Amino acid sequence: MLVANPRAVRAPYPAELKSLMSIERAQESRLWLSPWPELARGATPLYELPDLAAKLNVARISVKDESVRSPLGSFKALGAPIALVRQVLRLHPDLDPAALLTGRHAEMLKDYTVISATDGNHGRGLAAAARSVGCRCVIVLHANVSLEREQAIAVHGARIVRIAGNYDESVEEAARLAAAHGWQVVSDTSYDGYEDIPRDVMQGYATIAAEIVEQTGAVANEAGAFTHVFLQGGVGGLAAGLASYLWEHHGAQRPCFIVVEPRQADCLFQSALQGRAAKATGSVDSVMAGLACGETSPLAWRFLQPGIDAFMTIEDGAAVQAMRVLAAGSGRDIPIVAGESGVAGLAGLLALRRDAAWSQQVGLDECSRVLLISTEGATAPAVYEELVGEPADAVLKRQAAWLAR
């Protein structure tokens, strides 16, 4: 399903949004994150896929590969850590922010506890950051989070709490536990009276956009390398973080932004239809575990309502197909390991190019230059192997051979 957003605007980045998230604040976050040992020292790769572009009859397809951002395997390594740093600074403003993630103030913070609900990657990022900072961490997991993802979080020393419900119920349980024990919620979704930390999480994601600007030589207030940018849905945090940065940089010449989410977790699609932050209409259970969210973040929606041009939903099978397309590679296209949530943008692009009316609706044609964000690698290796039909290590071996040619 596709819906054009009638509330999207082509204008300079609004001052009221800039007061919440800005390029200046994003660059500050990059600086504070840079000493963290869990992050790669350089920018993640921006790969070109000329064979796929030719097959889909577009001028260019580029993929930003976030699987190598961190040993944690996803872009979430940019959000929770900077949110934790900023929250500690609210309590102790005299501390050196760049020193927090290196553990210099661990003794002071040993009795401080943070908590969050997660589908996997956010909790893994928060657990790793808490261990580095020196504080305690509790992670609430819902019934559909795999044991493999639970173990990947627990290895960082977090205490795991399991509930029987879905993601949104795990968010409620995390808030209840925090209130009962005096713990601090560090979540990527906002709710009434809770916006500062989700904003910090979203601002951390803007590092991806900053690198794209640098990698493509984009000039401020001019059209950039890409006409269309596909972004994952979820609660809206990633889309808001990247779209806000690129909107501020390009101004009225910003690219067309398209947000993609699972059909059964269509909270952003429903928000576009209703003109307000809304809930999903489906079961929320999706193979795209990181996007299986039932409620739109109201804070993220403040950026998405004026900044996103179209919203679409995809079936789980489309995501699996997209995983296999990236894994296969070709003569000119590098094989890429992309997890089930990481391929939503490509799945959306494939769906659009199969439908001439949809392509026309978003201005997608043979001259279009498309940017995709592969937000995660094989963060659940067994799930990846089951869906793709080969282990991630085999794909990485073929990738290494492709690069060595």
* Buried b / exposed e along 311-342 (16+ C-beta atoms within 10 A): bbbbebebbbbbbebbbebeeebbbbbbbbbb
Same domain, 152 and 297: no
Same domain, 228 and 340: yes
Tokens in use for 320? 């699996």
Same domain, 240 and 296: yes
The Cα-based distances of 132 to 29, 46, 117, 128 in angstroms read: 17, 29, 19, 6
Same domain, 87 and 19: no
Same domain, 217 and 90: no
201 within some domain: yes
pLDDT at position 128 is 95
Q: How many distinct structural domains can be found in the chain?
A: 2
- Domain limit, last residue, from 163, 185, 207: 185
155 within some domain: yes
Same domain, 24 and 96: no
Query: Is the pLDDT higher at 184 or at 76?
Result: 184
Same domain, 271 and 396: yes
pLDDT in tens, 196-243: 999 999 999 999 999 999 999 999 999 999 999 999 999 999 999 999
170 within some domain: yes
Instruction: Give me the mean pLDDT over the 274-278 stretch.
Output: 96
pLDDT at position 242 is 98
CB–CB of 296/261 below 8 Å?
A: no
190 within some domain: no
* Buried b / exposed e along 142-169 (16+ C-beta atoms within 10 A): bebbbeebbebbbebebebeebeebbbb
176 within some domain: yes
- Domain limit, last residue, from 156, 185, 214: 185
- 7 contacts: CB under 8 Å, gap ≥ 6: 275, 305, 306
122 within some domain: yes
Same domain, 373 and 259: yes
Sorting pLDDT into bands at 50, 70 and 90, what band is 369? Answer: very high
Same domain, 364 and 282: yes
CATH number of the domain where residue 165 is located: 3.40.50.1100
246 within some domain: yes
CB–CB of 21/192 below 8 Å?
A: no
Helices 80-91, 121-133: axis angle to 10 degrees equals 40
pLDDT in tens, 145-200: 888 889 999 999 999 999 998 888 898 999 999 999 999 999 988 888 899 999 99
pLDDT in tens, 92-103: 999 999 899 999
pLDDT at position 121 is 83
In terms of residue numbers, what domain contains 166? 80-185
- Domain limit, last residue, from 162, 185, 208: 185
Rg (CA), the chain: 20
Same domain, 93 and 57: no
Sorting pLDDT into bands at 50, 70 and 90, what band is 144? Answer: confident
Same domain, 251 and 364: yes
139 within some domain: yes
Same domain, 154 and 204: no
Please list the active-site residues: 76, 119
